[in-house]
Chain A
Amino acid sequence: MFEISEINKRNQKTQKLFQILFMMMTVLLIMPVVAILGMLIYKGGSIISVDFLFSNPTNGMTAGGIFPAIFGTVWLVAVALLVSVPIGVAAAIYLSEYAPDNWLTRIINLAIINLAGVPSIVHALFGVGAFVIFFGFGTSILAASLTLAIMTLPVVIVASRESLQAVPLAFRMACWNMGATRWQTIRRVVLPNAVSGILTGVILEVSRTTGETAPIMFTGAAFFLPFLPQSVFDQTMALSLHLFVVSTQVPGVPEDLPYGVALVLIAMVLIMNSLSIAFRMYLRGKKKW
């Protein structure tokens, strides 16, 4: 009575078939990461040295190092974070702690999705129109960083909101019952319990900001500068734009140079990302509630 019938056998076979098909798709999708990393290390690994990382480009960017580009990227990311983290975390607090379930909240959520979905080059146009021309910052670190900050704001908001909402309601209720105001509850109870989750979002944003190219092309990043930026009103070189420049705009670049730049860029991005992921997993394991 409980023998495997023909139809069951056929079903089992289909199942096996599709499982293998989907597994192969997954492998094919993930393989490029490994292949690309391998290729970049293979072709660009030899050029990476302390000298490459800490000296200026020479001979019209066909030789020398990439220090000004790394330095500029750190500047751009730092200024962008100074703007987007406070605004993003505050927005997340509003959405998680205050916002009622109404049309305004729906529009805010829609705006966040759209802010993340607007093409990066449109953000660049906005940066040019608003910060470079209208506010008169010129092409500067400030204009470029503000553009980056607005572009990556959704990353901070979404990650922070998620970790704020993960704090149990009972924590808040206990605090309210002690007579604390809403803000005191947020400041003393909710935020301390969510801060590490917010931090993973911030690391993720650093990684995103590091790799962006289009938004800074016309707002503050320069192809080549003989000096390091002195203030936020100076232009700067940036690693992502430098990769674009040495691989398309400059003739006579030795083959391993762009591979080296790409390797440094992708290493910075992936290390940040892995850090964020590892941190998230560590937190999930540690969570007490």
Chain B
Amino acid sequence: MTAGNTKIASDQYDRRTMDWYIDKFMQLLMFVCGISAIIFIISIFVFITIEGLDFVIHDLDIGEFFTSQYWSPSDEDDPEYGILALIAGTASVTGLAMVVAIPFALGTAIYIGEFSTGKKRESLKVLVELLAAIPSVVWGFIGLSIMNPLIIKVFDVPVGLNVLNAGIILGLMAAPIMTSIAEDALKAVPDSYREAAEAMGATRWQVIFKVVLPAAKNGLLGAVLLGVGRGFGETMAVLMATGHSVNIPHSIFDSVRALTATIAAELGETAVGSPHYGVLFTIGIFLFLITFLINLTADLVVRGVRKG
């Protein structure tokens, strides 16, 4: 290892020079930083569990927690901890967002990846990247001040802060990320597939529809899943654009409240250690586990395609 340092090596027949120790030390340091992501993800789970544990043990009624639609944790005499309406809020907004985002994201990915070349392709990719960079609080503000009056005017409804508003906003937020992952998945399909199909006389469209899309299926599914995860966990935009009223929606013009937004809106008002404080951390544990599951599935799905 320290062949360059012949003097020391020949004097002592020992490779453990200063450089050797530095090398070993740095390797250890890099390793510790390398596993830091694992340490952090575990400590996130541990710390939110510590804060929520007291509530989970003493006050939590799992059945009521998931099936009751009554959420009034700050009621002193008879607090209610049902998150069904909040789950419905999150699910309806995320669902609508996916209806908006999936076709646009896949369509854009196909257009960028298969139909455009050179400068056009580069500039489209940059624009998508910039769209992804807009902070969620700005999206929330757009929902609040631009979409809100627009929805009231166009659909003639009393409140513009509702599932529709948040769904569109969230769809626009999730689409760019899904686009770039989907485009990567299309790019991962070997060119020889396309060449073979084109040699058989297939048109561009037939190549895409019959060859590229089936080959990229898993990657595209992974992109959609990551988009769902992103929509599920979005906080500020959903807090500002949903109308924030606890409600199981019956139409897209109903106001709802999301799981994430509930934590953001109420954590500041609760006393540390109170049941209300504990239930918010319990929702946090629930969110953590759900997004963990979504990300894990997405990873497995994408990995499946790499092996095949």
Contact = CB atoms under 8 A, between A and B. Distances in A.
B144 A108 contact: no
Nearest to B115: A19
B286 to A, nearest CB: 10
A98 B103 contact: no
Contacts of A126: 43-44, 47-48
Given A19-B115, A33-B130, A121-B233, A130 B138 contact: no
Which of B3, B104, B124, B141 has the most C-beta atoms of chain A within 10 angstroms of its own C-beta? B141
A220 to B, nearest CB: 13
Contacts of B233: 117-122
Interface string A105-143: 001101111110111111111101110011000000000
A214 B30 CA distance: 31
B193 to A, nearest CB: 18
B304 to A, nearest CB: 14
Interface string B138-165: 1011101110000000000000000000
B26 A183 contact: yes
A67 interface: no
Given A22-B108, A266-B134, A98 B205 contact: no
B34 A90 contact: yes
B264 A214 contact: yes
B131 A211 contact: no
A15 to B, nearest CB: 4
A33 B131 contact: yes
B291 to A, nearest CB: 5
Nearest to A246: B141
A18 interface: yes
Interface in B1-35: 1-5, 19-20, 22-23, 26-27, 29-31, 33-35
B172 interface: yes
Contacts of B263: 121, 124-125
Nearest to B233: A119
B287 A121 contact: yes
Nearest to B48: A125
Nearest to A133: B272
A181 interface: yes
Nearest to A86: B33
Contact of B134 (A36, A110, A277): A36
Interface in A2-26: 11-12, 14-15, 18-19, 21-23, 25-26
B240 A26 contact: no
A95 interface: yes
A277 B180 CA distance: 15
B23 A122 contact: no
Interface stretch (B54-62, B79-87, B248-256, B292-300): B292-300
A272 B38 CA distance: 29
B176 to A, nearest CB: 8
B37 A112 contact: yes
Given A26-B124, A30-B131, A125-B284, A243 B40 contact: no
B97 interface: no
B154 to A, nearest CB: 16
Contacts of B91: none
Interface in A51-98: 86-88, 90-91, 93-95, 97-98
A159 interface: no
A183 B48 CA distance: 38
Contacts of B146: 36, 39
A153 interface: yes
A110 B137 contact: no
Contacts of A118: 41, 44, 233, 288, 291-292
B34 A108 contact: yes
Nearest to A214: B235
A255 B29 CA distance: 52
B48 A129 contact: yes
B98 interface: no
Contact of B130 (A88, A181, A243, A274): A274
A157 B37 contact: yes
Interface stretch (A165-173, A229-237, A257-265): A257-265
A247 B291 CA distance: 29
Contact of B295 (A21, A114, A212): A114
B226 interface: yes
Interface string B196-217: 0000000111101000000000
A22 B130 CA distance: 20
B124 A30 contact: yes
A98 B34 contact: yes
A117 B229 contact: yes
Contact of A218 (B33, B128, B268, B287): B268
B280 to A, nearest CB: 7
Given A25-B107, A115-B40, A125-B47, 9 more contacts: A21-B107, A32-B131, A36-B142, A121-B235, A129-B281, A182-B26, A214-B260, A244-B141, A248-B144
14 contacts: A25-B111, A29-B128, A29-B131, A108-B35, A111-B41, A115-B40, A118-B292, A125-B263, A129-B48, A179-B5, A181-B22, A182-B27, A244-B137, A244-B141
Closest A-B pairs by Cβ, 7 of them: A211-B135, A119-B233, A94-B34, A179-B4, A25-B107, A90-B33, A129-B47
